[in-house]
Amino acid sequence: MTIFRLGYVAMSKQVTNSSPSQTMTFKTFSQLHDREAAKRKLERIARSNIHNCLRLLKHNKALDISFFRLSSRLIPLATHQELSDWRYYEALEEDLQQLGAYALANKMRIDFHPDHFVVLNSPKEEILKVSVKTLRYHHRLLSAMKIPVKHRCVLHTGGLYGDKEKALEKFIDNWSRMNEELQQMIMLENDDKTFTLKDVLYLSEKLGVPTVFDLHHHLANHIEADWFSDWPRILETWRTSELPVKIHLSSPKNEKNFRHHADYVDANMVVEFARKVSGTTGQIDCMLEAKQKDNALIQLVKDLKEFPQINWINKSTFILK
């Protein structure tokens, strides 16, 4: 028997005025003549973001949703090169601890998916430095929340740079230059244009990193349509993780814009996926990447209730009969 737990990404369509990604541009920051006062303003924005995240977790609890991706934009300008003296993680420690404590107390799995500019296989030293700095920012947030950092950040492999084999080897070379504390945060995901599931499995197996399988990406970018033959390899990459297997589910917007995420998630696709993998592992956490966020999860649950082969454990978690 496999438990399937549903989650959604970062923001709510139901909770009003709850953005966890409020920001300030560096231009605005630099126009404030009192630098310390400007940093305090950044901290007020960050506290509002963190407070909104806590509101979203409480909203999730009411819906039995215990799987959630945090916004990577919680702390505006945290990684900006002109603010390297700003110890935001100390100023916001109490707020971040409160957020993490709520998640832990309610057995919620929370994690991050840093933005696409985090590229670990870049041949350019400056891009690599910025990418590592961004990962260190995520590590500090997790540490301040007292959330175990292992396997909490999903990354794509990066750029092609004209030669896939060299790009994969560059990832391995750059990986070896990172601190272990950053390495242990990372999970790798297949993307929709460049690095296929097999490419990511190659890296995952070589580096001991879990593979986050994205079904939509696989359908958009594959050599062979079949993915289930590689499912045992995906599961094996999670063998040393304390967290359940994680996957991404989304539906294409339409045939013309196949790579774009739709507003909602097709229930038939979810049931077909669940049918194939049910019984292969104890639990699979399914992150829904849909434009309608929590609305999409709520609608999917309604749609799935039309399938008699599904038994519900709670409002967002099910098994197949």
Looking at residue 133, which CATH number applies to its domain? 3.20.20.150
Asked if the structure places residue 112 within a domain, the reply is: no
Asked if the structure places residue 153 within a domain, the reply is: yes
Could you give the number of structural domains in the chain?
A: 1
pLDDT by residue (tens digit) across 167-212?
Answer: 999 999 999 999 999 999 999 999 999 999 999 999 999 999 999 9
Asked if the structure places residue 118 within a domain, the reply is: no
Asked if the structure places residue 197 within a domain, the reply is: yes
Rounded distance between C-alpha atoms, residue 15 and residue 294, angstroms: 9
Domain range holding 224?
128-241
Asked if the structure places residue 176 within a domain, the reply is: yes
The DSSP letter of residue 284 is E
> Helices (H), strands (E): how many in the chain?
12, 10
pLDDT by residue (tens digit) across 15-71?
Answer: 999 999 999 999 999 999 899 999 999 999 999 999 999 999 999 999 999 999 999
Give first-to-last CA distance, the chain, whole Å.
9
pLDDT surpasses 90 at 150 = yes
Rounded distance between C-alpha atoms, residue 253 and residue 39, angstroms: 40
Res 3: pLDDT: 98
pLDDT by residue (tens digit) across 252-310?
Answer: 999 899 999 999 999 999 999 999 999 999 999 999 999 999 999 999 999 999 999 99
Average pLDDT over residues 153-157: 98
Sign of the CA dihedral with 123 first, then 124, 127, and 130 last = positive
pLDDT surpasses 90 at 223 = no
Res 224: pLDDT: 78
pLDDT by residue (tens digit) across 79-131?
Answer: 999 999 999 999 999 999 999 999 999 999 999 999 989 999 999 999 999 99
Res 222: pLDDT: 86
Asked if the structure places residue 303 within a domain, the reply is: no
Rounded distance between C-alpha atoms, residue 265 and residue 216, angstroms: 11
Burial of 196 (0-12, 13-18, 19+ CB in 10 A): buried
Residues 57/59/62/64 CA torsion (nearest 10 deg) = -50
Q: How distant, in Å, are the alpha carbons of 7, 39, 220, 271, 321 from that of 303? A: 16, 47, 24, 10, 17
